Structure 1
Amino acid sequence: MPDVLELEDVRKRYGPVTALDGVGLTVAEGETVALLGPNGAGKSTLLSIALGLLKPTTGRATVLGRPPAAVLRDGLVGVLLQEAGLLEDVRVRELVAAVAGMYDHPPPLAATLRAARVEDLADRLVGRLSGGQRQRVRFALALAGGPRLLVLDEPTVGLDVDGRRALWQEVTRRGATTVFATHYLAEAETYADRVVLLAGGRVIADGPVEAVKALVGGGEVRFDSGGGTPDVARLRALPGVRGVRVHNGTVALRTGDSDATLRALFATFDDVRGVRTERIDLESAFVSLTGGDSEEGTG
C-alpha cells in the first residue's frame, strides 16, 4: 500500500525566491502530522503542492500513489484552507449539502453537521455568521465527502477554546490521515503523532514530539522579568546557558546544566523572582531549532 502522501525532493521557486528547497516527506495511513515553522518557512506552499494546487518547480508529489489533483477530484481529500471564501447568501445546510452532493459516497448530511458542531447553525445564512462560526462551516465542508486524507491549514484560527477542543476531538475520533499546519504549538504537542519543522524552505526536524524536543536537549530555567528589561548579555554568560528568550514578562534560559545555571543566576542577580525549572517544551524546541533564541522574542 502506498503512503497516503509523499513528497520527493520538492523544490518551488518564485523567480529568485526559493519557497521550498528539496523537501522530502511521507505520511502513512492513519498518521496525524503537524507542519510547523515560522512565517515564510514554506508551509502553505508545501500544502498547496500536496493538494495539486501548485506544481513543484522540480520534484514529485503523490497522494495515494497518484497525482494530487486527480485524488482531490475523486473526493478522497478534505481541505480546510486559511481564509477560504464561502458563499454568503445560502444557508449552512444548503451549502454543506451542495458540497456533499459532489462526491460519490458522502456520509449522511446530519452526521457531517453534527461532527463539525454546526447543527445549530444549519438554517442560518452564511453571511450572518461570526468568524468562528464560519471556520466551523469550513470544517464541515472538509468532512462533507468522507475523505481518507484531511489537510488543514490553521484549522482553529478564530475558534474559542471549546471550539478548538471540539474540532480536535472529531479529528481524533475519525482516525483519518491528517496533515495540519498550525501556529498553536500546544495543539501539535497534544494531537500530532509527528511534527515536521520547516525553516527556510527545508525540513530541519521530523519525528515524534519527544524526539524533536530531544534534539535540543537540556531543560529551562524560567523566572519573572518584573516588567523591566533583562540584561540578556549577562544572562547568556551564565554557566550552562545555551539560549535566552523573553516572552510576556517571562525569561526562559535554555540550559544544559540547570543546577549550575540556578546557582549562578542567584549569585549574579539580586531581584530574581518566580524561579522554576521546566523540561523543554515544543515551543522552546521550535524557537531553538529555527534560530529564534533572542531577546526579540517579546511578543
Structure 2
Amino acid sequence: MTTLARTIEVTRRYGDVLALDRVSLDIREGELVGLLGPNGAGKSTLINLFVGLRRPTSGTVELFGGSPSDPVTRRGIGVTPQETGLPESLRVGEIVDVVAAHFPAPAAKDELLGRFGLDDLARRQVGGLSGGQRRRLAVALAFVGNPRLVFLDEPTTGLDVEARRALWENIRSYHAGGGTVLLTSHYLEEIEALAQRVVVVGGGRVLADDTVNAVRDIVGVRRVSFHAPEPPDLPGVVKSERDGDRVVLFTADPDRLVIDLVRGGTPFSGLEITPTTLEEAFLALTSKESAHV
C-alpha cells in the first residue's frame, strides 16, 4: 500500500520536555488507525507534525511524499484538532463556505451538513451552538475538501452516545469509500469499534503497533472467571476482582491457574477464559513504560 504520511526517527522537544523520542510511523493508504496513549504521551504532537502545525526538533516528517509545511500538499488532508476556536458571529453555513474556498473541489455544502446532522443549523450562529453541535461542526469541516487523509484528534469529545455512534458511521463510510483515517480517542470502545490498526504511544515512544487483537495479546494476560463463594489464593494471579457472584482473575498462564484451582479443592462452576479488553492491554502497556522511566 502507498504510504501517505510518515515520520522517520522524529524527536520533538518543548524546552526541557521530550514530547516525542525517535518515533518512526507510517500511515498507509486505506488504513483506519487508532492512536492511543495517556495524556502527555505525544498523540497531539504527532498529529501537529503530520499536518504541518509543528516542526520536528530532529528527524523527518513526510506528507504525500512532500513536506507538511507546503500549503498545496496540505490540501489533501482534513483535520479536526482537539480544541477548535470558531468565529462566534459566523453562521454554520458561512463557516463551511469559508473553509470550502480553500479547496479546488470541495464537498457539496448541503450534502455535508446533512451527513453530520447540521442541515437544520446552517443559519445558526456558532455562538448559539451547544458544545456537541460545535464538535460535530468541527469534525464536518475536516471533510469539506474531500480529503485523501483525515486526522481526527479526540473527535467525539463532548458528544452524547447517539451523536457519537452517528459520527462513527460517518467515519466508517468515509473509510469504506477509500479514505484514510488517523484517529485519537480517550474512548477505548471507540478504537475497538473503528480501528483496524492500533498504535499505542507512551513517554513519547511507540509501545505497540498492530491489530486490536494483537495489542491485547502483547500484554499476555487472560481473564479467568468462574462462580465461587470466595476468591481463592492462587499463584500467578496479576489481579483479582468480583463481578457479581463471579470471581475474575487475571493471569499470564490460565492453564496453570486452572490446574492449581482444581488441585486446591476450591468449589467452582461456570469457568470462562477470555482475552483481555483493549483497555486492559492499553493500561498494561503504558504502566510498563512508566515503570521503565
Compute the TM-score of the two structures, normalised by the length of structure 2.
0.85
Contact 1:49 1:61 in 2 (8 A): yes
Which residue does the alignment assign to 2:215?
212
Residue 254 of structure 1 deviates from its aligned partner by: 2.3
> Does residue 254 of the first structure (1) align with residue 255 of the second (2)?
no
Name 2:224's counterpart in structure 1: 221
In the alignment of these two chains, the number of paired residues is 284
Matched, 1:240 2:273: no
Cα deviation, 1:164-184, whole Å, max 9, x if unaligned, reads: 111121111112110011111
**Contact kept in structure 1, 2:51 and 2:74, CA below 8 Å:** no
The answer as to 2:183 corresponding to 1:187 is no
Q: Which residue pairs with 1:53 in the alignment?
A: 53
Q: Work out whether 1:280 is the aligned partner of 2:276.
A: yes
Aligned residue for 2:113?
Answer: 113
Q: Aligned to 1:186, what secondary structure does the other structure show?
A: helix
Determine if contact 1:2/1:64 at 8 Å carries over to the other structure: no
SS at match of 1:69: coil
TM superposition shift of 1:218: 3.8
CA distances 1:90-111 after superposition (whole Å, capped 9, x unpaired): 2111111221122111011111
Residue 201, structure 1, aligned to residue 233, structure 2: no
User: Unaligned 5+ residue runs, structure 2?
Assistant: none
Deviations 1:63-119 (A, max 9, x none): 100111215764211110112111111211111122112211101111111222211
Q: The residue matched to 2:83 in structure 1 has which SS? A: coil
How far off its partner does 1:267 sit? Answer: 10
Gap change, CA 1:119 and 1:59, over 3 Å in 2? same
Separation in 2, partners of 1:15, 1:156: 31
More off after superposition, 71-80 vs 41-50? 71-80
Give the distance between the partners of 2:173 and 2:74, measured in 1 at CA: 23
Cα distance change, pair 157–246 in 1 and its aligned pair in 2 (3 A): farther
- Unpaired runs of 5+ residues, structure 1, are 225-230, 294-299
SS in 1 for 2:23: strand
Q: Distance in 2 between matches of 1:251 and 1:141?
A: 48
**Inter-partner Cα distance in structure 1 for 2:74 and 2:11:** 26
Residue aligning to 1:98: 98
| Deviation, structure 1 residue 264 | 6.4
Cα separation, partners in 2 of 1:218 and 1:127, compared to 1, 3 Å: same
Output one character per residue of 1:207-263: Cα deviation in whole Å (capped at 9) or x when no partner: 111111111224113689xxxxxx9xx97xx3232x327799998642123365468
Q: Is the 8 A contact 1:2 1:65 kept in 2?
A: no
Within 2, Cα distance between the matches of 1:82 and 1:247? 36
Deviation at 1:139, TM superposition (A): 1.1
- Kindly report which structure 2 residues correspond to 1:166-177, keeping only aligned pairs within 5 A, or say none: 166-175=166-175, 176-177=179-180
- 1:244–1:251 Cα contact (<8 Å) kept: no
For residue 83 of structure 1, give the secondary structure of its aligned residue in structure 2: coil
Quote the Cα distance in structure 2 between the aligned partners of 1:145 and 1:159. 24
In 1, Cα distance between equivalents of 2:27 and 2:249: 34
CA distance in 2, matches of 1:163, 1:287: 27
CA contact (8 A) 1:93 1:123 kept: yes
Q: How does 1:60-139 map to 2 (within 5 A)?
A: 60-70=60-70, 74-139=74-139
Cα pair distance change 1:222/1:69, threshold 3 Å: farther
Q: Distance in 2 between matches of 1:177 and 1:52?
A: 18
How far apart, CA to CA, are the structure 2 residues paired with 1:117 and 1:74?
26
For 1:217 and 1:258, the matched residues in 2 are separated by 10
Alpha carbons 1:51, 1:72 under 8 Å: kept: no
What residue identity is the alignment partner of 2:34? A
| Closer/same/farther in 2, CA of residues 106 and 245 from structure 1, 3 Å limit | farther
Counterpart for residue 16 of structure 2: 16
In structure 2, what is the Cα distance between the partners aligned to 1:103 and 1:245? 55
Residue type of the partner of 1:36? L
Contact 1:19/1:45 (8 A) holds in 2: yes
- Secondary structure of the equivalent of 1:187? helix
**Identical counterparts, % of pairs:** 44
